Amino acid sequence: MKNFKFITLLSVITLFASCDNDDDNTTVDPSETTNFTVSIENIGSAYSFIDSGLFNTPVGDANPGPATPGKRYEFTVNAGRSQKLSFATMLAATNDLFFAPDGNGIAFYDENGDPISGDVTDQVYLWDAGTEVNEEPAVGSNTVGMQSGPDTGEVENGNVLKIADVTNGFMFDFPEVNEIISVTITHTEGTLFTVSIEDLATASLDTSAGMSVAPLSPGVYVVHGGANPLFTEGEPDYGQGVEAIAEDGNAAPLGDYTAENTGVTFPSSPGIFVVHDENTMPLFTSGSTDYDLGLEAIAEDGNTAVLAGNLSGLEGQISGDVFNTPLGSSGPGPLLPGNTYTFSFTAEAGNSLSFASMLAATNDVLFATEDTGIELFSTDGTPLSGDITSMVYLWDAGTEVNEQPAIGPNTVTNQLEADTGMAETEPVQLLSNVNDGYDYPSVNTVLKITITAN
């Protein structure tokens, strides 16, 4: 999730305006103002994978089992432009060898953003997990098919390496990868792809005991954005289940791990806050189309610059600013799980607070207060303090047609450039009123928002 195309305002703009009221010409006593600090913490979950699963039943078979020569595994995945495919499947008859792409994975889209279809075997390698000392394939007493039970053999405590780079254990002349396995990706429709992993009919190993077949084991696949999702070349196995596949063709442990770590990570983008007169609507009016002052740029791209430039002209505006740098960060960026934005301001009785930031991984969904904001003082003049998460909602800006979060080609993490996607002219409305068929989180599962009167 490192490639979000947020456009952030690098210089902070702070605007203060005097508040004139035709019904009250008295000068405001500074002692009646209160300083507030708002904290926006991303409490959501960070997931390693956008999709994952096991492949364990060859096409045409009724039950799970190895893919013997001439058989193949198939599975379908849903992937966005920024995502890659990785998988692991054992080369049976060995101690701890497996087939997998390198740490970058295999791209589902070309450099122009178009979906691919074709043979990708040249991006697959034969790896040594470094967890068990190698013996002669199909001959050694601890190779799969010869061992007395699972998880036998001499522990190696080595690193994950391409088999061509391994210099210890039994040296064996393995066939080229494309002589054993064939991997293809076929684009079906939209963001859907079918992956085929075939054990070639001619797959075999030339051993001292004669020719031996070279089946593939059940395995695990993941769709991911970052690098090295299942292992890192030159480092020990992560201990998450690759060893069980590489040594015994047991995909369950890695399948359990990947399932627990599969989902959509929802950051919050940099945003804008506005202190304004009560009952004014500086950022938007619920049920009406966007003001075209810059909220769209936040909702679609996390870009605060346009709205910041129009800050002084917003209805009822008294002060305001950009918030864009997570605590502890050296510069502006999105608010990832575990991080916090803060901002402070001064207000007086009769003032309200509005703010907005993007629910990243979407097309144009916002975290925002009600259109009239949050009243900062009670009727008796007591300043607001405490958890205000329940006063923040998810809004659809109505400026871009929604697609599946984190997958759609024009969602913020997958678009080729800023401000792409099918435009629409719908009213700004609560996301709960939009029936687009996609799943979204609740505000309180992503953010915790508190305000403190100092």
Tell me the DSSP string of 63-111: S---B-TT-EEEEEEE--TT-EEEEEEEETTSSSEEEEE-TT-EESB-T
**309, pLDDT greater than 90:** yes
Question: At 312, phi and psi to the nearest 5?
Answer: -65, -20
Alpha-helical runs (H) found in 261-304: 295-301
Average pLDDT rounded to a whole number, residues 206-223: 96
Please list the alpha-helical segments (H only) found in 249-357.
Answer: 252-260, 295-301, 305-309
What gap in Å lies between CA 292 and CA 298, rounded to an integer? Answer: 11
Local confidence band at 226 (pLDDT 50, 70, 90 cut-offs): very high
Pairing of strands 365-369, 97-101: unpaired
Q: In terms of CATH, what superfamily is 15-46+265-453?
A: F-spondin domain (2.60.40.2130)
Residue 449 pLDDT class (50, 70, 90 cuts): very high
- Encode pLDDT of 332-389 as tens digits: 999 999 999 999 999 999 999 999 999 999 999 999 999 999 999 999 999 999 999 9
At 297, is the secondary structure helix, strand, or coil?
Answer: helix
Sorted by sequence, the CB contacts under 8 Å of residue 332 that are 6+ apart come out as: 6, 8, 9, 10, 270, 324, 325
Query: Residue 391: pLDDT band by 50, 70, 90 thresholds?
Result: very high
Residues of the chain with pLDDT > 70, as a percent, come to: 93
Please give the structure tokens belonging to residue 13: 């703009």
Quote the pLDDT of residue 167. 86
Query: What is the dihedral sign for C-alpha 144, 150, 154, 158?
Result: positive
User: Which band of pLDDT confidence, cut at 50, 70 and 90, is reported for residue 168?
Assistant: confident
pLDDT at 11: 29
Q: Can you tell me the distance from the alpha carbon of 215 to that of 129, in angstroms, rounded to the nearest whole number?
A: 18
Show Cβ contacts of residue 54 under 8 Å, excluding neighbours closer than 6 positions.
218, 219, 220, 251, 252, 255
Instruction: Identify the pLDDT of residue 149.
Output: 87
Distance CA 262, CA 229 (A): 12
Cα distance between residue 394 and residue 430, in whole Å: 6
pLDDT at residue 392 above 70? yes
Instruction: Report the distance separating Cα 221 and Cα 201, nearest Å.
Output: 23
Other beta carbons less than 10 A from residue 201's beta carbon: 10
Average pLDDT over residues 134-162: 93
**365 vs 386: CA distance, rounded Å:** 25
Residue 18 has pLDDT above 90, yes or no: no
What band does 15 get if pLDDT is binned at 50, 70 and 90?
Answer: very low
Residue 144 carries which DSSP code?
T
How much is the pLDDT for 170?
87
Q: Which residues contact 330 (CB under 8 A, 6 or more apart)?
A: none
pLDDT, averaged across the chain: 92
Which long-range CB contacts under 8 A does 2-5 form with residues at least 24 apart? Answer: 2/225, 2/226, 3/82, 3/225, 3/413, 4/267, 4/269, 4/302, 4/334, 4/360, 4/412, 4/413, 5/301, 5/302, 5/412, 5/413, 5/415, 5/417, 5/418
Give the span between the Cα atoms of 234 and 47, in whole angstroms.
24
pLDDT band at 295 (very low <50, low <70, confident <90, very high): very high
Q: What is the Cα gyration radius of the chain?
A: 28
Range from 159-168, 282-291, 385-394 carrying the lowest mean pLDDT: 159-168
Tokens of residue 100, six digits = 């997998």
pLDDT of 22 > 70? The answer is: no
Q: Name every residue whose Cβ is closer than 8 Å to that of residue 356 and which is 6 or more positions away in sequence.
A: 271, 272, 283, 284, 295, 298, 299, 366, 367, 368, 369, 395
- pLDDT for res 203: 94
When pLDDT is averaged across residues 399-416 and rounded to a whole number, the result is 96
Distances 45 to 1, 93, 263 between C-alpha atoms, Å: 13, 39, 9
The lowest-confidence range among 26-30, 44-48, 181-185, 367-371 is 26-30
Q: 3-class SS at 295?
A: helix
For residue 31, the SS3 value is helix
Q: How far apart are CA 360 and CA 336, in angstroms?
A: 10
Residue 3 contacts residue 413 (beta carbons within 8 Å): yes
Domains of the chain, by residue range, sit at: 15-46+265-453, 49-260
Q: How confident is the model at residue 177 (pLDDT cuts 50, 70, 90)?
A: very high
238-242: which pairs have CB atoms within 8 A and are 24 or more residues apart?
A: 242/88, 242/98, 242/129, 242/160
- At residue 32, φ and ψ (nearest 5 deg) are -95, 0
